[in-house]
Amino acid sequence: MMLIPCPWCGRRDESEFHYGGQAGVAYPSDPSTLSDEQWAKYLFFRDNPKGAFRERWCHTAGCRRWFNLVRDTVTNEIHA
Amino acid sequence: MAEQNSPLGGFRFPEGPVTIAEIPFLTQINIRKEPDSSLPLSAGTSSRSGDVDILWLGPDEWLAVGPPGGFTEHHWEGSVVDVSAQRTTISLRGPHVRDLLALGCATDLHPGVFGVGACVQTTLAHAPVIILRRESEFWVLVRASFATHLAGWLVDASREFAVEALP
Ligand SMILES: [Zn+2]
């Protein structure tokens, strides 16, 4: 079980959280100009690093706020 | 007048080592607004105003809990929604309340970090709950649809404390 630091509530069990995938994926500024391939890339393609990964989490069973953190995908260590 | 039915039908279990009792029909008002000094501003805290407890739920969200029938002396601006029917309240009393809660809740409720007035949104026996520590009891606010499960779990889990350890 990971302890995830909610910026509001502090460290809580992983089971209280919902995973939101990679952080910082910007919505295209003009989606109508995108090709199907570019749109599919935006929708479905995400980085899959071995190491530090910036991702979104929601404290579903607690304060229900979304936040970002950096997790090491090898060790599950959470930085920032 | 229409008949009122609470999710646990006024359930009481006073004969166990932990006294478990529903407090039905408490008024619950969800408030979403910009923070101001009339509200508790730290995560996991509550404040008391008359007979109304105001619980921190999020950086822009609070829950006011008070006697049945609504509040007359409190007015808030912002989004103010009566959610009284959403949850019922279970009161827990007795020397083993923390031990009982610890059987189904991973959040630290030690008096050193969870004193009078502390509140937390977490899970208890897998049910989403709000736990509030009051002077002489704990309140567990639970959604109506989870209330029967949770009351049954509390009664079952509390039996453990009826057995005295051998010397
Ligand atoms: Zn939180």
B48: domain CATH number is 3.30.1360.120
Mean of the pLDDT values across residues B110-118? Answer: 96
Mean of the pLDDT values across residues A1-17? Answer: 95
Is the residue at B76 inside a domain? yes
- Closest-CA residue of A relative to B105 is A13
Mean of the pLDDT values across residues A52-62? Answer: 98
Whether pLDDT at B93 is above 70: yes
Which chain A residues touch B if contact means CB-CB below 8 Å? 8-10, 12-13, 15-16, 61-65
Is the residue at B150 inside a domain? yes
pLDDT of residue B2: 79
DSSP three-state, residue B29:
strand
Neighbours of B9 (CB within 10 A): 12
Give the confidence band of B16 by pLDDT, cuts at 50, 70, 90.
Answer: confident
Q: Which residues of B touch A15 (CB under 8 A)?
A: 106, 123
Domain residues of chain A, as ranges? 19-24+49-79
Residue B137, domain extent: 19-162
Is the residue at B141 inside a domain? yes
Is the residue at B145 inside a domain? yes
Mean of the pLDDT values across residues A43-52? Answer: 97
Is the residue at B73 inside a domain? yes
Q: Each residue of B43-79: pLDDT tens digit? A: 999 999 999 999 999 999 999 999 999 887 888 889 9
**Using an 8 Å Cβ cutoff, are B121 and B141 in contact?**
no
Is the residue at B7 inside a domain? no
pLDDT of residue B128: 97
Whether pLDDT at B115 is above 90: yes
Mean of the pLDDT values across residues B98-122? Answer: 96
Place of tokens 């049954």: B152
- Closest-CA residue of B relative to A8 is B43
Q: What is the ipTM of this complex?
A: 0.88
Query: Can you give the pTM of this predicted structure?
Result: 0.93
**Residue B43: strand pairing partners:** none
Is the residue at B9 inside a domain? no
Is the residue at B25 inside a domain? yes
Give the domain A19-24+49-79 fold. Answer: Folate-binding fold (3.30.2270)
Mean pLDDT score of chain B: 94
Ion ligand 1 — residues with CB under 5 Å? A 6, 8-9, 59, 62-63
- Closest-CA residue of A relative to B63 is A63
Domain count, chain B: 1
